[in-house]
Amino acid sequence: MDHKDRFIDLSLSGAALAEAGGHVLAAYVLRVAEGCDFLTVVARLAAESGRGTALPLSTEDGFSRSLDVVAYEADAESGLVRLAFPLALFDFNVTDGGASISSFLNLLAGNTQGMEGVAALKLHDFHLPESYLQGFAGPAATIAGLWRHLGRDESAGSMVVGAILKPKLGLRPGGLAAAAYEFWRGGDLVENDQPQGNQGFAPLAEVLPLMADALKRAEDETGTGKVFSMNITCDDPAEMDARAEMALQAFAGMTESLAFHVDAYLAGPMALAHARRRYGGHFLSAHRAGHAAVTSVRSERGYSAFVLTKIARLLGASGIHTGTMGFGRMEGDESDRPIACMIAQDRAAGPYFVQEWHGMARSAAIVSGGINALRLPSFMENLGHTNFILAAGGGAFGHIDGPAAGALSLRQAEACWLERADPIEWAVEHPEFRRAFHSFESDADIIHPGWRRVFSPENTNL
Ligand code: CAP
């Protein structure tokens, strides 16, 4: 069987394929095993991607041949390979005709990941034509609804000051509600940390009523809306529903204050799609604990964080963890900016394709992982705006004056960047921001060397 002739056609134009709208396009970086010929492996990769084998098949006919996946770019030097997948290959729901990410990932990053001859294969980007993209639900609730609830401008309401409850595990029901209440006194949104569920020392039946009460008190005292984002990640949709039901009861009459949160990596597409379908009226956050096992820049297999994030918008996440682009403590760098742009715009350029979203609602970037008031201004400078959701853990609950001061320090950090003020001068007028220097001293030493001299007790100008 002549694989190369059948499965590689370098005369095809990616722009023409995208324009015609009959294919899903995918961009990979491929490294072939020692001794293997690059184009031979590319041809096998394309064959495996669609028909599931490179062997001749007695069952094949003209129709099945018309569904061949074809490589239209293959550069042995950079390893870049682009494949075109005919739309007819993809699976659609029997219930509503909707498209399925399990099917999409099965074809684009399924068995090919472990194929003979492949030393490394990573999916870095994909392009969906309008007809396929419309098969996905996309977000229902968006950040515009959060901003409305917070009394802000619905088109650009600026940073939602959010926190992830810390310690990750170990707070009992009263402790969780108290921590949340304290943060809400200065901030907007409190999110469960990913492993927080129905632990024996903090059963949901006890946590949720206390949390609802804490939120109500914070809303009454501050006169503004607050949000609790509850983790409903688990293995079984029925269990997820049971947890969500408990929350809906505890937060009865406070619909806008209740968001849900699922892990789009650990519990996967089914969890996100299910939550979107059942609780679409609520803001839906997508977390991704463990995703680096697949997406890490150090991993030459799997798919990138960019791909995972783009998928989460398709599945209907209102907000998606996008990382901190190198300004926090998790892996990432400044060049991750397109991740946040891709989910929040109508048309955006990824690393290899420009994607039109054809009116699909936008998702918001949730920024988390080692961010505190001192790190925020540079993060914002790189992103270029503040229309995102912050989810600070240690940066909120690690403030030496408590969670309310932590929240205020984060809000003041945003104002500092918006004013393009000098952070040290800004700190003089903004006590919670100033105390962030004392809370996160090692960051302060790196970002603002000399701060100790300015804020020393001997400096009587302060
Ligand atoms: C943040 C966090 C989040 C990570 C996830 C943590 O806490 O709760 O899970 O940010 O990373 O446990 O690390 P800190 P990402 O603010 O204390 O770091 O958003 O990149 O998926």
Backbone angles phi, psi at 230, to 5 degrees: -90, 135
**Cα of 417 from ligand 1 centre, angstroms:** 22
The yes-or-no answer on residue 287 being catalytic is yes
- The amino acid that residue 220 corresponds to is D
- Asked if pLDDT for residue 325 goes beyond 90, the answer is no
Helix (H, G, I), strand (E, B) or coil at 430: coil
**How far apart, in whole angstroms, are the C-alpha atoms of residue 316 and residue 262?**
11
Question: Which atom of ligand 1 is the closest one to the Cα of 394?
Answer: 17
Q: How far is the CA of 322 from the centre of ligand 1 (A)?
A: 10
Residue 461 has pLDDT above 60, yes or no: no
Residue 410 has pLDDT above 90, yes or no: yes
Ligand 1 center to 352 CA (angstroms): 28
Beta-ladder partners of 389: 160, 366
Ligand 1, atom nearest to 321 Cα: 19
Q: How far is the CA of 370 from the centre of ligand 1 (A)?
A: 7
| CATH code at 7-133 | 3.30.70.150
Mean per-residue pLDDT, 71-84 = 98
Q: What's the pLDDT band for 258 if we cut at 50, 70, 90? A: very high
Computed on alpha carbons and rounded to an integer, the radius of gyration of the chain in Å comes to: 24
Give the model confidence (pLDDT) of 25-46 as tens digits.
Answer: 999 999 999 999 999 999 999 9
Q: Where are the alpha helices (DSSP H) in 150-203?
A: 173-186
Structure tokens at 117: 């001859």
Residue 2 has a pLDDT of 63
CA-to-CA separations, 329 to 143, 308, 333, 443, 447, in angstroms, rounded: 25, 20, 11, 11, 14
Ligand 1 nearest atom to the CA of residue 324, by list position: 20
| Right CATH for 143-447 from 3.40.50.970, 3.30.420.40, 3.20.20.110, 3.40.50.720 | 3.20.20.110
Give yes or no for residue 416 having a pLDDT over 90.
Answer: yes
Q: Which atom of ligand 1 is found nearest the CA of 371? A: 16
Provide the pLDDT for residue 368: 95
**Single-letter amino acid code for the residue at 73:** E
**What's the confidence (pLDDT) of residue 337?**
87
pLDDT of the residue at 76: 97
Helices 305-315 and 337-344: crossing angle in degrees, nearest 10, is 10
Greatest CA separation for the chain? 88
pLDDT (mean) for 383-401? 97
The pLDDT tens digits of the residues spanning 103-138 come to 999 999 999 999 999 999 999 999 999 999 999 999
- Residue ranges per structural domain of the chain: 7-133, 143-447
Same CATH topology for 7-133 and 143-447? no
Q: Tell me what pLDDT residue 362 has.
A: 97
The overall average pLDDT reported for the chain is 96
**Peptide bond just before 195 cis, omega within 30 deg:** no
Quote the CA–CA distance of 143 and 158 in Å, as a whole number: 10
In the chain, the amino acid numbered 338 is P
Mean pLDDT to the nearest integer, 70-87: 98
The answer to whether residue 23 scores a pLDDT higher than 70 is yes
For residue 272, how many C-alpha atoms fall within 13 Å in the half-sphere facing its CB? 32
pLDDT above 90: residue 183: yes
Output phi, psi for 33, to 5 deg: -65, 155
- DSSP-assigned states of every residue in 196-212: -SS-TTS-HHHHHHHHH
Q: What percent of the chain is modeled with pLDDT above 90?
A: 93
Mutate to test the pocket of ligand 1, among 161, 164, 166, 320 (most ligand atoms within 8 A of CB): 164
Per-residue pLDDT at 460: 55
For position 334, what pLDDT does the model report? 78
**Is pLDDT above 70 for 446?**
yes
Residue from 190, 368, 375, 379 to probe ligand 1 pocket by mutation (most atoms less than 8 Å from CB): 368
How many Å apart are CA 90 and CA 131, to the nearest integer? 12
- Among candidate residues 261, 282, 287, 321, the one labeled active-site is 287
Active site residue 127: no
Q: What one-letter code names the amino acid at 398?
A: G
pLDDT in tens, 152-161: 999 999 999 9
Q: What is the pLDDT of residue 329?
A: 85
**Whose CA is closest to atom 5 on ligand 1?**
369
Q: What's the confidence (pLDDT) of residue 459?
A: 66
pLDDT of residue 458: 67
Give the tokens for residue 424: 């040290």
| CB neighbour class for 346 (10 Å; exposed up to 12, middle 13-18, buried from 19) | exposed
Query: What is the mean pLDDT of the segment spanning 190-208?
Result: 98
Positive or negative, the CA dihedral 244, 245, 250, 252 is positive
CA distances from 388 to 129, 325, 363 (A): 27, 13, 10
Q: Which of 111, 156, 150, 108 is nearest to 132 (CA)?
A: 108
Q: Can you tell me the distance from the alpha carbon of 192 to that of 198, in angstroms, rounded to the nearest whole number?
A: 11
Per-residue pLDDT tens over the stretch 265-315: 999 999 999 999 999 999 999 999 999 999 999 999 999 999 999 999 999
Q: Stretch 428-447: mean pLDDT, rounded?
A: 96
